[in-house]
Amino acid sequence: MTAYENEGISVKDTQNSSTSTEDYDNGHFGPLAHVNTASSRYPAFGGDLQPGLYKLPKDRKLANPAPLGLCAFALTTFVLGCLNMGVRGITEPNIVVAPALAYGGLVQLLAGMWEMAVGNTFGATVLSSYGGFWMSLAITFIPGGFNIMGALEKADGGSPTMFYNSFALYLFVCLLPLLPFPFDKSQIPATSLQKTDANVSQGWFIFTTIVTSLTLKSTVAFFSLFFFVDIALLLLALGYYFNEGGMPNHNLIKAGGLFALLGAFLAWYNAFAGMADDSNSFWLPPVIHFPWSEKARAARRDSAGDSV
């Protein structure tokens, strides 16, 4: 039994698929290419980063890149979640530069490109975007080299305020603020600090909400991954709004870090689901579809037909 059969997809359904190699070569796959032939479609599956019904190429030559991208996302999110929670008293973000550049950056970007090759628009967009961001984030905080921080601090008379505001604007566009402060907060005006971080968290919250809305017809684990990350960023935004003495609310920031950790573990869970089958695992993760999903509705139709 494979992960697909674990979802209720039979070998017969696969054999009866009308998918052709010509269709795959012409790019007729992804959310925009769904047809109304049930036997030619697979239900949503987090292990493939597929939020809706999709086709699987008959002569697929590439492996599933989603677990690789999910693992890269999980590790970087896990590290940053720990930093936000202040685990072991760590407050500086330097440790995240290496995984952000190599694993969360380069590897996740490659996974996104391979998702594009297999025809998964959602997976390609999400993984490539995260990968590109992590690489640019690492470049920004690498000491020396591009000297981005130093140049902006010099232009602002030695104060990091200009860099922080510039970085906040960049984060608002790229939508990923799970980063602790890289310098002494006492040097930055409390009003600037408060408004900047709140705006950054709001930007990422908006993006994650959009992505989460695209998983509402998928599986519980797939949806929960983005939902927990969304909640984490909402808590971070609230933490910077409801400050204590001009500083972020410690409890809300820690709560945001906790939800980030939950999101990381769910990313690993979905990655495991994408790799596990009877040939390599004694346990296949359960796949629970929402009642309003196409898979659940099809099961109800089949049940009603059998009872007649």
What does the pLDDT read at residue 241?
65
What does the pLDDT read at residue 47?
78
What does the pLDDT read at residue 224?
93
Nearest Cα to Cα of residue 115 among 102, 106, 127:
127
pTM for the complete prediction? 0.71
CB 76 within 8 A of CB 125: no
Residue 87 per-residue DSSP state: G
What does the pLDDT read at residue 143?
72
What does the pLDDT read at residue 140?
77
Cα dihedral 60, 61, 65, 66 in deg (nearest 10): 10
Q: Which two tokens stand for residue 199?
A: 């705006």
pLDDT tens digits, residue range 89-105?
887 767 888 898 999 99
Q: Please tell me the total number of residues recorded for the chain in this structure.
A: 308
What does the pLDDT read at residue 204?
59
Looking at the predicted structure, is the pLDDT value of residue 279 above 70? yes
Nearest Cα to Cα of residue 115 among 134, 128, 132, 102:
128
Residue 242 per-residue DSSP state: S
Nearest Cα to Cα of residue 194 among 236, 154, 150:
236
Query: How many angstroms from the chain centroid is the CA of residue 125?
Result: 10
Q: In 3-state terms, what secondary structure has residue 112?
A: helix
Write down the domain spans for the chain.
3-63+276-307, 66-260
